[in-house]
Amino acid sequence: MAKIDARLRENVHLLGELLGRTIREQHGDVFFEKIERIRKGAKAARRGSSDGAQLLGDTLDGLTDDELLPMTRAFSQFLNLANIAEQYHRVRRRHAGDAPPFEDGVFSELLERLKSEGRDPEFIARQVGRLDIELVLTAHPTEVSRRTLIQKYDAIAGQLAARDHLDLSAAELAQIEQRLQRLIAEAWHTEEIRRSRPTPLEEAKWGFAVIENSLWQALPRVLRKADQALQRSTGLHLPLDVAPIRFASWMGGDRDGNPNVTASVTHEVLRLARWVAADLFLHDVEGLITTLSMQAASPELLRQTGDTAEPYRALLRTLRERLQITREWAGGAPGAQQATPAKVLHDNRELWQPLELCYRSLHACGMGVIADGALLDTLRRAAAFGLFLVRLDIRQDAARHAAALGEITDYLGLGDYHTWDEQQRLDFLQAELNNRRPLLPPHYQASEDTAEVLATCRVVAAAPAASLGSYVISMARSASDVLAVQLLLKESGLQRPMRVVPLFETLADLNDAGPTMGRLLALPGYRQRLHGPQEVMIGYSDSAKDAGTTAAAWAQYRAQENLVDVCREHGVELLLFHGRGGTVGRGGGPAHAAILSQPPGSVAGRFRTTEQGEMIRFKFGLPDIAEQNLNLYLAAVLEATLLPPPMPEPGWRDLMEHLAEEGVAAYRGVVRDHPQFVEYFRQATPEQELGRLPLGSRPAKRREGGVESLRAIPWIFAWTQTRLMLPAWLGWEQALQKALDRGEGEQLAAMRAGWPFFTTRIDMLEMVLAKTDDEIARRYDERLVSAPLQRLGADLRDRLSHAIRTVQALTGQSELLMHSPETLEAFSLRNTYLDPLHLMQIELLARSRHQPNPAQSPLEQALLVSVAGIAAGLRNTG
């Protein structure tokens, strides 16, 4: 079996040793020896040693109440440090003979492949320039680490990079180790868990910090390398003003079930984004003023500046002044009424034009090498981020819009919108959209909920178009849901087009997505209000929670096919927005493979997807890591556009229909129909305790009730903590087994070999099954679940074993992930630290439920740290 790279193992060992020194200094040798006994016992127990299991159990049982919190923190911190080492290892300094990472060459390799297949170079370059990829940062965080700790973790990664040189002296190595020791000590003496939930504004600041600290550097580097690869392959350059990759955000705009996101919050987040953008561009421009000291300039530039010894500086000083005024204006007190200074920048062209003029002049005067440095990077940022940094989406539930219109129609004496059928609603909405008079009189006094909906629409109407993305309608089911938002926006003063996007989330809604959009596009007048593509959002999280991943994945695939056909029939461009989470149970998984597995024609140069929670930090938290992931998106969207996957064979579609039917029946038979399931779920997992974890600004539930009331994130997160991972695989075990029993094994193998959609689903299923652990899940049941419910737990673990066996039968492997021994060994390394955390969490849950403790008690803090540690150890958790 291949081993983990020696340099990664060395870094993990070094960080663990430094953490051990820190713990020993604070808690003494006796406590540190207990940590070592637990670690060695867990390692031996994993290898089947009964003595190791006994040592582990005895040491854990012997912990005093005062030792529970530091012991939990010790194992949690090690897993965080292991994550840092693994993340850095992906972008480590390459030495002679090291193969470059796949991500670094994936785009240039694709260009060469396209050229070798006879694609016209000009056509390739044009397609690259037309790419429209938008990554939407969302505030659904299972990210539990505080921002102050994240900054220390990033600094630790920086020191690992400093250490990764072959010619360092002993003194230099010692100095780096000393810095690492200090950073690890700082992290150890810092509380891991927030004392209170973040506000929506704090979430937005966290998202802006990711841009400032990482993406601001990464994106120009990605586009610089893409331009160089394009020039090598085609002889053509990426145009200056194109932005193949942009960013949007839901932080401060997503009000679906979150009463903390109000119209005033959205207004404040929009203002803050302008402040951050002005501040970042101000730093860029100040750097350019220092750099561009040359005198030779084009007549075009000199006409702007007049006769001056330093024309570039003169032009950029004017821009600097306007950026300073813009920053000061945007940083005014929230809600304060202030006149807008004349020099405030409002249009991105006002930022772009002086920068571009400098660029053209430098090239015209033979100084292209200077133009193509920092100035080019700033131009790329101006095209991608602009004056508004990110485009803010607004999201609200369709029921809130219907309730507002119900109140309005009742007030106007028109009847009850709620009781109208779809045709009545459409007739009313179309008539009002075409009517020039206002719908509501000025003196109308709305209820609190309706007033908030209208206030949000007024914020949208008042905001610059470039600062906003889409208005997303959760739980959309009909054409009237879209027209309802358009009418509310019109009534609030919106006089420009805005993308109003239905989000289809449940199995039934996904199945009806094509016909629903067909009815919408056929409505008189709708096409005239549609400027640009028709955007439709596909919900992965809630569809999987509703029907299981087998049926949900197939419904998502078919919905996309149907939407492509409907939009083609109506002559409308389609933009699919993928609402993916971090886990397999929420549509997560490797982005490159996921994009290449989409239905043919569904990725036509456009791709929009959510990036959520802790995955934002793992994928974009460090500039080098962000660069790799942006490369993958760039290459995958281009490949899916120009080299789409083949259409599935009719027999494969039929078999997938059977798998989906059997999968949803098996899933719902447990989750919905088993009378004891909800009670078992709440006893066996930390679901109730997760509500106390200050993860994000949004409540864990949309409303009171059972599993159906839970959001997809805590639903997945709770099962991950126990290692049963139920939502990611339940249903597949019966669906695949029945296919094998029918003698369809060869057809399943052919689907896996020839159909990227099915290949990706099985690969993700195998990965998540490799992270499950029925023995750990059994421990939770034995300690936390009442005797009458334990039979259900045993049945679910049997189903898990069945799922593993069926996947092994399908892949022909005796062990999961045999094709990736490095991944298996990484799991094994983590289990040494995860096992004690699970066992401590079980004990902490039992004690907490027996005798509730204050929120800040050591026991309660230890419980929350265990949740954070397990999440860190398993990575894609929410």
User: What per-residue confidence (pLDDT) applies to 177?
Assistant: 94
Task: Out of 63-72, 627-636, 637-646, 733-742, pick the least confident.
Answer: 63-72
Over pLDDT 90: what percentage of the chain? Answer: 71
User: What per-residue confidence (pLDDT) applies to 145?
Assistant: 57
- Residue 635, CA distances (Å) to 102, 229, 368, 511, 643 in order: 11, 12, 28, 30, 11
Q: Is the confidence at residue 696, as pLDDT, over 60?
A: no
Mean pLDDT value across residues 70-97: 85
pLDDT digits (tens, 9 = 90+) for 260-299: 999 999 999 999 999 999 999 999 999 999 999 999 999 9
Q: Return left, alpha or beta for 748; rule: phi > 0 is left, psi -120 to 50 is alpha, else beta.
A: alpha
Cβ(18)–Cβ(180) under 8 Å? yes
Greatest distance between any 2 Cα atoms in the chain: 89
User: What per-residue confidence (pLDDT) applies to 338?
Assistant: 73
User: What per-residue confidence (pLDDT) applies to 861?
Assistant: 86
Over pLDDT 70: what percentage of the chain? Answer: 93
Task: Out of 82-86, 360-364, 493-497, 653-657, pick the least confident.
Answer: 82-86
Mean pLDDT value across residues 649-661: 97
For 100, the token pair is 């470059």
Write down the residue that tokens 């974009």 correspond to: 620
Determine what percent of the chain falls in helix, strand and coil, rounding each to the nearest 5: 65, 5, 30
CA distance 541 to 615: 15
Q: Is the confidence at residue 4, as pLDDT, over 90?
A: no
CB proximity list for 163: less than 8 A, separation 6 or greater: 173, 176, 177, 180
User: What per-residue confidence (pLDDT) applies to 322?
Assistant: 98
712 falls in which pLDDT band (50, 70, 90)?
low
Q: Is the confidence at residue 326, as pLDDT, over 70?
A: yes
Burial status of residue 486 (CB atoms within 10 A of its CB: 0-12, 13-18, 19 or more)? buried
User: What per-residue confidence (pLDDT) applies to 3?
Assistant: 59
Average pLDDT, the chain: 90
Catalytic residue among 34, 140, 205, 771: 140
234 falls in which pLDDT band (50, 70, 90)?
very high
pLDDT digits (tens, 9 = 90+) for 808-851: 999 999 899 888 887 887 787 788 889 999 999 998 899 888 88
Report the b/e string of 603-623 with b at 16+ CB within 10 A.
bbbbbbbbbbbbbbbbbbbbb
Mean pLDDT value across residues 517-526: 96
Write down the residue that tokens 């954070």 correspond to: 868
Query: Is residue 43 among the annotated active site residues?
Result: no
Single-letter code of the amino acid located at 802: H
Q: Is the confidence at residue 215, as pLDDT, over 60?
A: yes
Q: pTM of this prediction?
A: 0.92
Q: Is the confidence at residue 336, as pLDDT, over 70?
A: no
Give the SS3 label for residue 785. Answer: coil
Catalytic residue among 490, 545, 619, 771: 545
- For residues 522 and 333, which has the higher predicted lDDT (pLDDT)? 522
CA distance 800 to 798: 5
For 513, the token pair is 């997505």
CB proximity list for 209: less than 8 A, separation 6 or greater: 147
User: What per-residue confidence (pLDDT) applies to 233?
Assistant: 96
For 712, the token pair is 């997809």
Give the SS3 label for residue 471. Answer: strand
Choosing among 1.20.1440.90, 1.20.910.10, 3.90.650.10, 3.30.310.50, the CATH entry for 275-388 is: 1.20.1440.90
For 476, the token pair is 């959309």
DSSP secondary structure letter of residue 305: H
Residue-range domain boundaries for the chain: 1-100+147-190+848-878, 275-388, 391-573
DSSP secondary structure letter of residue 211: I
User: What per-residue confidence (pLDDT) applies to 699?
Assistant: 55
349 CA to centre of own chain? 30
User: What per-residue confidence (pLDDT) applies to 587?
Assistant: 40
CA distance 502 to 229: 38
Single-letter code of the amino acid located at 652: W
Cβ(38)–Cβ(59) under 8 Å? yes
Rg (CA), the chain: 28
137 falls in which pLDDT band (50, 70, 90)?
very high
Cβ(413)–Cβ(452) under 8 Å? no
Give the SS3 label for residue 699. Answer: coil
CA distance 53 to 862: 23
214 falls in which pLDDT band (50, 70, 90)?
very high
* Residue 120 φ then ψ, to 5°: -65, 130
Burial status of residue 287 (CB atoms within 10 A of its CB: 0-12, 13-18, 19 or more)? middle
Task: Out of 46-60, 576-590, 607-621, pick the least confident.
Answer: 576-590
- For residues 139 and 181, which has the higher predicted lDDT (pLDDT)? 181
Single-letter code of the amino acid located at 696: G
Mean pLDDT value across residues 406-416: 96
Query: Is residue 140 among the annotated active site residues?
Result: yes
Helix (H), strand (E) at residue 417:
none
For 748, the token pair is 């399943």
CA distance 25 to 35: 14
The number of CA neighbours under 13 Å toward the Cβ of 430 is 17
Mean pLDDT value across residues 38-57: 86
CB proximity list for 388: less than 8 A, separation 6 or greater: 270, 273, 274, 277, 348, 464, 466, 467
